[in-house]
Amino acid sequence: MRKLLRLALAGALAVLPSAVAHAQTDITWWDFLSGGDGVRMKALRPLAPEELAAAGIKKENYVEASWNSASSEGTAYGVPFDVHSIVLYYNKNILKEAGLLGDDGLPKGLDGLDNFNAALEKIKATGKVQYPLSLHTDEGGSMWRVFYTLIAQQGGKFMEGEEILPGDAGVKALTTMANWVSSGYSPQLISYEASIALFTSGKAAMHINGVWEVPTMVDLEKNGNLGFEWGAIQVPVLMGEQASWADSHAFAVPNSEAKPITPEKLKAVLQIIAWMNEHSLSWAGAGHIPAYKPVTDSAEFKAMQPNATYVKLADTAVFHPVSPLAGVGGAIYEATQNFIVPALNGQLDPEEAIEQMREELKGQM
């Protein structure tokens, strides 16, 4: 990431000859790998339409869901860089043996929960794998992404007004996940690293994880350390509607009333952001979907696999609820660890887990 940023900044300056020739503008770049960025990101500066337009940044060129996630009440507070989501990794060799691989190399017969569960049983019946599906079942963050996906596929909401998990969508989602574990389709209380290793070693036929693990698969295959053909697709429609948990990395300008950013520096910052998005094909190499649509529309991206196969998930991406309780490492993640994880591993009844999660989060609202 740091190498990419250094190259990008150098490239950005290279395409601004007038700025280089006549003036130098120093920009401080903060990312989530260094410094006290957390506090700074809580004070985001609003970006006026004319400021964005001056840098060539147009809302219509960005994935709608990711743009909206960086905005509030119609005002942009950031510019999205990507969409990253969970996807279904799959072993083509095993799926073919189980009769679940089409001539196009894509899985078939996985849509609909009954079909998906039947497919898991077919894979198990081959006797070629330890688990049909590898999930990271001991940690709240990973399981939140699957849980939230299944809620969204039912057309449900995690939060609606003052209500937490209204209706029965949460119970249905959690019961589904718990059944995968209790049926022996997915491992119990397994770590992140081990869940990946089950798939990459050929001991699991499928694996649900973030797109950020695409480079792991690519590198293993390139080095001859993956003994099967693989692919990745968006999570199948298991519960009615196409939807996948997703999030975005985004660029933002910290706000300071005491020392506001100068117009000259803001212009330079926005030009760099625009350049980064226009050249985000290399960032797609990390498995991400660029938020800047002209890149995903390019021939270069369409030749990039498996990204080009699952790129359509950006159209049905479902971001975190808009709440102080949400977000990575927030109260929702902690509640998932405390209640969802025990329930899917057979240590708590799903209905009881959902009710306890409601009570826990309502007390923090």
Is residue 71 located within the same domain as residue 145? no
- In which band, very low, low, confident or very high, does the pLDDT at 7 lie, cut at 50, 70 and 90? very low
Is residue 294 located within the same domain as residue 336? no
**What is the pLDDT at residue 5?**
39
Is residue 32 located within the same domain as residue 133? no
pLDDT tens digit sequence for 231-283: 999 999 999 999 999 999 999 998 888 889 999 999 999 999 999 999 999 99
Neighbours of 72 (CB within 10 A): 13
Contact 274, 56 (CB under 8 A): yes
Q: Residue 1 above 50 pLDDT?
A: no
Q: Please state, in angstroms and rounded to a whole number, the distance separating the CA atoms of residues 123 and 289.
A: 30
Contact 202, 130 (CB under 8 A): no
E-assigned strands of 180-235?
Answer: 204-210, 230-234
Is residue 202 located within the same domain as residue 288? no
- In which band, very low, low, confident or very high, does the pLDDT at 23 lie, cut at 50, 70 and 90? low
> Which neighbouring-strand residues pair with 210?
86
Is residue 205 located within the same domain as residue 299? no
Q: Which two tokens stand for residue 40?
A: 């700074």
Is residue 239 located within the same domain as residue 284? no
- In which band, very low, low, confident or very high, does the pLDDT at 182 lie, cut at 50, 70 and 90? very high
Is residue 339 located within the same domain as residue 272? no
Alpha helices in 58-139 (DSSP H): 64-69, 92-97, 113-126
Is residue 100 located within the same domain as residue 196? yes
Is residue 277 located within the same domain as residue 148? no
Q: What is the CATH number of the domain that holds 181?
A: 3.40.190.10
Is residue 182 located within the same domain as residue 138? yes
Which residue range is the domain that position 52 belongs to?
2-81+248-318
Q: Which residue has the tokens 């498995």?
A: 287
- In which band, very low, low, confident or very high, does the pLDDT at 306 lie, cut at 50, 70 and 90? very high
Whole-number mean pLDDT of the chain? 90
pLDDT tens digit sequence for 191-221: 999 999 999 999 999 999 999 999 999 999 9
Lowest mean pLDDT: which of 129-143, 291-305, 323-337? Answer: 323-337
Contact 81, 249 (CB under 8 A): yes
Is residue 268 located within the same domain as residue 236? no
> Which neighbouring-strand residues pair with 87?
209, 234
Write phi, then psi, for 291 (nearest 5 degrees).
-75, -20
Number of domains the chain contains: 2
Is residue 191 located within the same domain as residue 331? yes
The structure's pTM equals 0.89
